[in-house]
Structure 1
Amino acid sequence: MDEEGWFSVTPEDIASRHAERSGGGTVIDCFSGVGGNAIQFAKMCFHVVAIDIDPKKIGFASNNAKIYGVEDYIDFIIGDFFQLAPFLKADVVFLAPPWGGPTYNTFENFTLDLLKPKDGYSIFQVAQRITPNIIMFLPRNVDLRQVEELSWLSSPPLNIEIEENYIGSYLKGITAYFGNTASRLPTLS
């Protein structure tokens, strides 16, 4: 891993939770980075398509998958998710778009337009063209009303569940589960 990878990788316990909740099948990890989430999906014996625009990150992710013994379950693609999306099919799309580096923490209310490389609404719309079953990992200070909007702006509105993700007593992030990855009723767990 490089320095950015250490900073941006999803903690293993949280990534494992995402994998448990995904429901299986083919999972696309749209901004895979060094592969933390892709590896956890693969450990559940799911087929994973791990996409990142940075060839170095894909190299790190591939090496990390070998260390975990799951490289045969993951197809690594160097590319831009937005250009590839029209050609992708999957049961679940996992979104952990860049939060903008350490500065995300300086915002009291992190809005979806601060996500990179595009705003959260645009990223979500592209993912929805692949499947309504979306898992989105977001900063702990994200505007929850905007996250809920993603559900009811969809046609038809999607089931949504919002989960706080802790490491010990430290709130690390928020995960929003949409479609079949969510419980039947909207909840905050």
Structure 2
Amino acid sequence: MERFDEGVRLDREGWFSVTPERIARHIADRCRSDVIVDAFCGVGGNAIQFAATCRLVIAVDICPERVELARFNAGVYGVQDRIQFVVGDFFELATRLRADAVFLSPPWGGPEYSNAEVYDMYRLDGTMDGREMMRAARSISKNIALLAPRSADVDQLAAMAGPGGRVEVEQNLLNGRAKTITAYYGDLIGTGES
């Protein structure tokens, strides 16, 4: 978060899990829509960027303290009026949410995720099934962006598109080095710059 010196607050997990701002801004540009759900908002890095490209962001996180940090950080960026913060379990809330797009940046399992040669998208942090997460997201919208570790199993990302489904996998680089992968589904495919 580029405004760290202006008072942005992060918890321990936020230090290693917040999406770098340049990547978050790029994803937000690709996900322009009226309403977007940020299913695992954490300290708000992506939700803040979505507020610049979407009319309304529904930012969900199961941890009340992280939602409060996200709310505070949105205030630092001056976008708190475009974000509706919800404390709750995305899997329980999904069937009641309506939006044009869904952004998924689930927990990857702490810094240890980077030790995996190929990251298992079906087991995510060891407690969450990526296929179930995609089913929950599809109950909201077919337009899904999924942020994953750079070592994510691309075959699993493709399989998550479902039978006959399509996916666009984009490698996110910072300073010439692979940082993360974003998988785009539905009408979000092909929305990037050439």
Bucket of the pairwise TM-score, normalised by the shorter protein = over 0.9
Written as runs of structure 1 = structure 2, the 5 A alignment for 1:31-46 is 31-46=40-55
- Structure 2 stretches of 5 or more lacking a match? 1-9
Deviation at 1:46, TM superposition (A): 2.6
8 Å contact from structure 1 (residues 31, 97) kept in 2: yes
Deviation at 1:45, TM superposition (A): 4.2
- Structure 1 stretches of 5 or more lacking a match? none
Identity of aligned residues (%): 45
Q: May I ask how many residue pairs the two structures share in their alignment?
A: 183
Matched with 2:182 is 175
Question: Structure 1 runs of 4+ off > 4 angstroms?
Answer: none
* 1:54 aligned to which of 39, 59, 63: 63
> Which secondary structure does the structure 2 equivalent of 1:177 belong to?
strand
8 Å contact from structure 2 (residues 44, 71) kept in 1: yes
Written as runs of structure 1 = structure 2, the 5 A alignment for 1:23-102 is 23-102=32-111
Cα displacement string for residues 51-84 of structure 1 (whole angstroms, at most 9, x for unaligned residues) = 0010110010000000000000000001110111
1:12 aligns with 2:12: no
> Which secondary structure does the structure 1 equivalent of 2:137 belong to?
helix
Q: Which amino acid aligns with 1:16?
A: R
Q: Which amino acid aligns with 1:13?
A: R
* 2:170 aligned to which of 163, 172, 182: 163
Q: Structure 2: how far apart are the matches of 1:141 and 1:11?
A: 17
Query: In angstroms, what is the RMSD of aligned CA positions?
Result: 1.6
More helix by share: 1
Matched with 1:140 is 150
* 1:125 aligned to which of 132, 135, 147: 135
Matched with 2:3 is none
Q: Structure 2: how far apart are the matches of 1:163 and 1:136?
A: 10
8 Å contact from structure 1 (residues 132, 158) kept in 2: no
8 Å contact from structure 1 (residues 136, 177) kept in 2: yes
Cα displacement string for residues 29-52 of structure 1 (whole angstroms, at most 9, x for unaligned residues) = 000000000000002243000000
Q: Structure 1: how far apart are the matches of 2:113 and 2:55?
A: 31
